[in-house]
Every structure is written in C-alpha cells, then in structure tokens.
Amino acid sequence: MPKLAKPLTDTQVRTTKPKEKSYTLPDGGGMYLEISPVGSKIWRMSYRQENGKQNRLTFGAYPEVSLIQARAKRADARKLLSEGIDPAQFKREAKVAKSIAATHTFEAVATTWLEKTASTRASTTQEKVTNWLNKDVFPYIGKLPVSTIKPTDVLAAIRFMEARGAIDSSHRVKQICGQVLRYAVAIGLAERDVTSDLKGALTVAVKTNYAAITDPKEVGELMRAIFNYSGHPYAVAALKLSPLLFVRPGELRSAEWTEIDLDTAEWRIPGEKMKMKMDHIVPLSTQSIEILKSVHAMTGHRKYVFPSIRTYDRCMSENTVNAALRSMGYAKERMTAHGFRAMARTILDEVLEERVDLIEHQLAHAVKDPNGRAYNRTAHLPARRQMMQRWSDYLDELRKGAIVLPIRA
C-alpha cells in the first residue's frame, strides 16, 4: 500500500529552495506546490475528469495565495468534482461571466435602455430622466454589474435624494431604476427587478397643488411685473407666453418652430410631448403671435423656439420660468410656472364664465363625449380660438389696470 504524503506545513512552503529542475511538494487531495528553477512557487491540483482524462488547476502563486487559501480552493474544486462538475471548466465560465458582468454595468444598460425607449417619451422627459440618472444614480450604482444590484444599492442612492428634500423625484427615480432592471431581465443580464423589494422603504410624498395666483387684482400685478421683467430675451418671451397659453411648462420650453404656424395662428403639439399622449392644438391669440414673431427673429433658424443659452441643440432649462418668477419676488409658495394653468382654469370659469368643457379641452385634460369617447384634437377649435383671444384681451386689461371683476361665490 503506497505511503500517503504528509500535509505540508507553512514553514516547509516558506523555506523550500529552488533546484536545477522544477519539482513538486504534495499536500494531499491532488494538490501540490510546484517550485521552478527561478524560485517561483505555484499551487496546482491534479484531478481526473469523468471521461478519465487527467487535468489540472492552478490556484495561484505563493505567498500571494497562502497554504490555507490554497487548501480552501482545493476543497471548492473537490466539491465541484463530487457534483460531476469539471472545476477547470467552471473556472473558465466564471471568468467569462465576470467579464460580461463587468461590461454590463448598470450605467451601460441604463444608457442603452434610454436610447431604445426614447421614442416613448417627450424630449423634455427624456432630458429629465437622463439628468436624474447622471446626477442621482450613476455616481452610486453606475459602475456595479447590473446582475449584482441589490435593493439596498438602489435605496442608498435614493436616500441622498431624500436627504436634500427631493421626495417626489426620489419616487420617480426608483421607478426608473425598476424599468432599467426589468429591461436587463428581458435581455438576460439580470434575474429580477430588485426595486420591488423597496415597497414602503421610501419617504411618503405629501401631495400638494402647484402654487397659483387666482385673484384678478393680483393677476394684474403679476402681468405688470412680467412685462417689466428684463431678463434674457428667451426667458422674457417664455414668461410672457406662459399665462397666455397656459400649457404645461415642459411643453412650452420644448416647443419647436416646425410645430408653430404663425399664418394660421396655431401651435400643434405632437402627442409624444403631451402628458395624455394625444396631439394637441393651441390657438394663438394676436398677443401670442406678436411675442412669437419677436422670438422668431432670434431663433427662427433653430430647432427650438426657446433654445438653451449654452447649446442650440437643447431646449431651455426647466427652471427658467420659475427662476424668473423668483427674481421678480414671487416665492414658490405663491406662484409657479405650472400655476399659470390653475390661474387660467379658475378665472376663465369663475370670472369670464367660459364653458368648462372648452377650458378642459384647452388644458389638454381628458374630456369625453356623451358616448364616453375621447374628443379629437380639433374638437370645438373655433370656440376655443375665440376663448383664447378673450383670455389674452382680459389679461391685457388687468395689466393696464382696467376694472377687475370679482370672482363670484
């Protein structure tokens, strides 16, 4: 019966010297230390595959890999062998998987997802989602392989947003991360969307309405302040159009000249830019046309009506109109860019007594006919055109100090 080799000691491994030819020191279980003539010491393990073929593994060099660590690697290899798995093949596949995981980081997958789904979002929304990812997500989990993302990784990133008070945005960012992870699942790079485990973990957002001025006297003061505002020409024009058109701020700042017909006095907003995903027509009053013509002289040769002052390839910043209101002394608790919609909705109904359905149509809210079908974009267009002109004329009267009609009870 062959004599079994005694297990190596750390002293043996440390003090063994090179010889003229390579030689080995066995440790048992197929593992041995190979000493080369130049003095390098490599841990290896010989084993026999299921087909009877001899093979070997390399565990690394001593002292980077200690005796204890080499034995742990041997134990892992023997466990794989007991399960009918070739440890060398397993090691190769693990290396490939690691390489793939390193390539498919959360940032790489999210960037691809952004590009592939861009057509489903308005350009302003695309820009907002991109900014959220770049500023609030990628710095924390962007470099992690998407297959290794844990719920706590996503939560850690979102906590930074909560800490600065961006509660609403943090919920939206969690949804975006979930969409990216579901895309990763669909293309075979992740097992599941781990954000589903974050239910109840985020700070609850308190629902609040956008601040808006609805008292006619105060609206007159606001209109005078707007016409006296002396900021950047693009910001001045956008600020003047905000109460006249009362579209959503994102729709206004992303307006393109190809959508606007100054001759027919119409702005046709494509559905992909709208919240309800339906085409929308905004009749332009004579006051709106005058403002747009002044802007056309500056940006008519560009894509956007209100381009960014930094690059013409992007539209105006989402904070421009709000920043103008703040510089005029209107705090966010008193008036916001979105508040022009509530201002128009209230006064058109309660002061000018316009038809509610026309107002709702012009606000691009969901309005249905008696049969429950949504009206198309041209519904009541002549009546809406007249209403928009009356609204612009009324705002002019308030600005000039004409008689103010009180809101009826």
Q: What pLDDT shows up at residue 373?
A: 56
Question: Which is catalytic among the residues 74, 174, 273, 341?
Answer: 341
Q: In angstroms, how far is CA 101 from the centroid of its own chain?
A: 22
Asked whether residue 208 is domain-assigned, the answer is no
Look up 248 and say whether it is catalytic.
yes
Q: What is the CATH number of the domain that holds 110?
A: 1.10.150.130
| Residues 314 and 278 both lie in one domain | yes
Question: Which is catalytic among the residues 74, 248, 385, 399?
Answer: 248
- Provide Rg for the chain, Cα atoms: 34
Question: Which is catalytic among the residues 338, 361, 384, 399?
Answer: 338
**Cβ 284 vs Cβ 297: under 8 Å:** no
Question: Which is catalytic among the residues 375, 377, 380, 390?
Answer: 375
| Residues 298 and 391 both lie in one domain | yes
Look up 275 and say whether it is catalytic.
yes
| Residues 139 and 250 both lie in one domain | no
What range does the domain containing 322 cover? 216-400
Q: Is the dihedral of CA 368, 371, 375, 380 positive or negative?
A: negative
Asked whether residue 5 is domain-assigned, the answer is no
Taking CA atoms, 161 is separated from 124, 140, 398, in Å, by 21, 12, 41
Q: What is the DSSP letter of 252?
A: H
**Cβ 380 vs Cβ 361: under 8 Å:** yes
Alpha helices by DSSP H, listed for 228-338, are: 233-245, 249-253, 286-299, 320-327
| Residues 347 and 224 both lie in one domain | yes
Total tally of structural domains belonging to the chain:
3
| Residues 231 and 262 both lie in one domain | yes
| Residues 132 and 186 both lie in one domain | yes
Asked whether residue 255 is domain-assigned, the answer is yes
Q: What is the CATH number of the domain that holds 303?
A: 1.10.443.10
Alpha-carbon distance of 403 to 409, in angstroms, equals: 18
Look up 341 and say whether it is catalytic.
yes
Q: What is the DSSP letter of 196?
A: G
Question: Which is catalytic among the residues 95, 365, 368, 400?
Answer: 365
Asked whether residue 312 is domain-assigned, the answer is yes
Residues 304-342 pLDDT 10s: 999 988 877 888 988 899 999 999 999 988 999 999 999
Alpha-carbon distance of 38 to 35, in angstroms, equals: 8
Asked whether residue 101 is domain-assigned, the answer is no
| Residues 156 and 275 both lie in one domain | no
| Residues 174 and 319 both lie in one domain | no
Residue with tokens 């393109």, as numbered in its chain: 256
Asked whether residue 405 is domain-assigned, the answer is no
Q: Which of 1, 41, 2 is nearest to 18 (CA)?
A: 41
**Which parts of the chain register pLDDT below 70?**
1-5, 96-102, 205-209, 367-377, 402-409
| Residues 148 and 223 both lie in one domain | no
Look up 394 and say whether it is catalytic.
no
Q: What pLDDT shows up at residue 1?
A: 38
Q: Which of 278, 241, 284 is nearest to 384 (CA)?
A: 284
**54 bridge partner residues:** 48
Q: What pLDDT shows up at residue 43?
A: 94
Q: What pLDDT shows up at residue 128?
A: 87
**281 bridge partner residues:** 268
Taking CA atoms, 291 is separated from 93, 305, 381, in Å, by 65, 11, 22
Q: What is the CATH number of the domain that holds 43?
A: 3.30.160.390
| Residues 260 and 379 both lie in one domain | yes
Q: What pLDDT shows up at residue 324?
A: 93
Domain boundary among 198, 227, 252: 198
**Cβ 298 vs Cβ 232: under 8 Å:** no
**Cβ 293 vs Cβ 260: under 8 Å:** no
| Residues 174 and 248 both lie in one domain | no
**Cβ 154 vs Cβ 177: under 8 Å:** yes
Question: Which is catalytic among the residues 275, 303, 355, 380?
Answer: 275
| Residues 142 and 290 both lie in one domain | no
Asked whether residue 375 is domain-assigned, the answer is yes
Q: What pLDDT shows up at residue 97?
A: 65
Asked whether residue 100 is domain-assigned, the answer is no
